[in-house]
Structure 1
Amino acid sequence: MDRLAFNAMAAINEERIGRHQLSNDIANVSTVGFKRTFEVTLQPHQAVGEGFDSRLQPRMYANDQIILDPGPLMVTGRDLDVAMNHKTVLGVTASNGELAFTRRGDLKVNSNGVLETGSGHIVRSQDGGPITVPQGFKLSFGSDGNLYAIDPAQPGVPQQQVIAQLLLKDASDTALAKREDGLFKVDGKPPGTDFASGTGPVSLTPQALEGSSVNPMASMVKLIEQSRSFEHQVRIIKESKSNDESGASMMKVG
């Protein structure tokens, strides 16, 4: 009974990582540019110590690598909205000052005139610094990542001027993992590590946003499966307790 209940309890504890990941995916169904990571798997692991060699315990293996498959494209018509095409990622500055990457393209200009994402992370230019926008200028993006500005007060026909280029990288040849703040980092490298752009194309779709890559229906089905698995493990613990009590009652002296 002890081994049976222990195995069931170990399975419940190990599956918590999958439950946390699934809960995070469901919470970000409507988050712009959100990317899922590879799913966790529950595998048998041989227990070390005294006992039979056939003793196996469940162990959860997680993979934090990001799946960069494109999400649904939403046309907004807003000049500061951009959607990264293919496996392009945007370089930003994390809250601790480190270099990080994201697929979130709902950009805005803060009160200091600096370009940032909708979550408040400063967007980096190709030279690695922040992008300062002239006050009162009309902004627009090109498909190559250039930021154009037009001075409405300019006499005659206003001319577009390139004021910066976004730090865009192709991550088709680089494995990215998720940071604690939701941004991306190079998998297996210290946070803030840069990487060379791959051979894939780097481009944007202006006036559009990329939706979350989470499938709500598939996530709900997985949530139901995990709930049933939890109930099944609890039922095993209860049944093993009942069997133990029945066996103990047979040993009582009449």
Structure 2
Amino acid sequence: MDRLVFTSNATIREQSTARQVLVNDLSNVSTLGFKSSYDVALQSIKVSGAGFDTRFQAQTVSRDVIRMDPGSVMATGRPMDVAMSGTTVLTVQAPNGDLAFTRRGDLKVNIQGQLENGSGHLVLGEGGPIAIPPGLMVSINPDGSIFARDPAVVGPAADVLIDRLRLRDVTGVSLGRRADGLYKVSEKPDGTDLALNDQLPQVIPQALEGSNVSAIEAMTRLIDHSRSFETQIRIIKEMKGLDESGSSMMKAA
């Protein structure tokens, strides 16, 4: 009887991690470029110590690998918006100065004249942070090339190449999530860059990528967790009733 109570309590405790992951996914359904990562499952482990050899409890097994499933692409018509195509990631500068990766492409020029995305992370070119001269109209090509034009010039004017987005293709590469929410190469030190491969990274100009989290799927899984929680509580209550009935039977008449 006590083993069943401990097993139910362990299941409730271990499933809390999976519920936190689902809640986090639901909170990021509308976050641009968000990628879900955590996979959480339960496995039975044998508990050693005093008691029968058949004592098993649930334990959480988790894996934090970024799922590169694409989100919905939304056309914005804004010249500085880019959506990452395929398995392309954008290289940015993390708050601590490390090199990191993201899929968020709502770009803008900050007050220092540098290019950053909507999260405030500086966007990197091949030579470092990208500086945009003031007063110029900026456009971005599918290969990541950034061109600018002076709107004050009358008549046709040639676009000037300013820099190129440092894009990387992560086909066959495992990415993990950093503490600041950006991506890094799994099992490598923070700030590790990726080498260019045969796959040419591309972006979709004047568009943004939404989250790859399915709200319906996440809500369904959350309902399953809620029902499992109710079942475990019901088991504990039933065991309490059985224990009280057994104690009353053992009382002296």
- Length-normalised TM-score, structure 1: 0.96
1:192, 1:238 → 2: CA distance?
51
Match of 1:213 in 2: 212
Match of 2:140 in 1: 141
Match of 1:17 in 2: 17
Further displaced range: 113-122 or 33-42:
33-42
Q: Render the CA deviation track for 1:159-189: whole Å, top value 9, x for unaligned.
A: 1111011111001121001112211111112
Match of 1:222 in 2: 221
1:53, 1:192 → 2: CA distance?
48
- Return the letter of the residue paired with 1:21: V
CA drift of 1:49 comes to 2.8
Q: In structure 2, do the counterparts of structure 1 residues 231 and 197 end up closer, same or farther at CA, with 3 Å as the change threshold? A: farther
Question: Where do 4+ consecutive residues of structure 1 move more than 3 Å?
Answer: 50-53
Further displaced range: 76-85 or 157-166:
157-166
Alignment of 1:47-196 (within 5 A): 47-127=47-127, 129-196=128-195
**Among the aligned pairs, what percent are the same residue?**
51
Q: In structure 2, do the counterparts of structure 1 residues 251 and 199 end up closer, same or farther at CA, with 3 Å as the change threshold? A: farther
Aligned residues: 253
Q: In structure 2, do the counterparts of structure 1 residues 194 and 53 end up closer, same or farther at CA, with 3 Å as the change threshold? A: farther
Match of 1:41 in 2: 41
1:3, 1:55 → 2: CA distance?
7
2:73, 2:96 → 1: CA distance?
31
Query: Which has the larger share of strand?
Result: 2
Q: Unpaired segments of 5 or more residues in structure 2?
A: none
Match of 1:253 in 2: 252
1:40, 1:10 → 2: CA distance?
15
Q: In structure 2, do the counterparts of structure 1 residues 43 and 199 end up closer, same or farther at CA, with 3 Å as the change threshold? A: farther
CA drift of 1:38 comes to 4.4
- Return the letter of the residue paired with 2:156: V
Contact 2:3 2:55 (C-alpha < 8 Å) held by counterparts: no
1:201, 1:244 → 2: CA distance?
67
Instruction: For residue 246 of structure 2, give the secondary structure of its aligned residue in structure 1.
Output: helix
2:162, 2:43 → 1: CA distance?
53
Q: In structure 2, do the counterparts of structure 1 residues 19 and 198 end up closer, same or farther at CA, with 3 Å as the change threshold? A: farther
2:123, 2:175 → 1: CA distance?
18
Q: Unpaired segments of 5 or more residues in structure 1?
A: none
1:239, 1:130 → 2: CA distance?
63
- Return the letter of the residue paired with 1:141: I
Contact 2:78 2:206 (C-alpha < 8 Å) held by counterparts: yes
- Return the letter of the residue paired with 1:180: A
Further displaced range: 184-193 or 64-73:
184-193
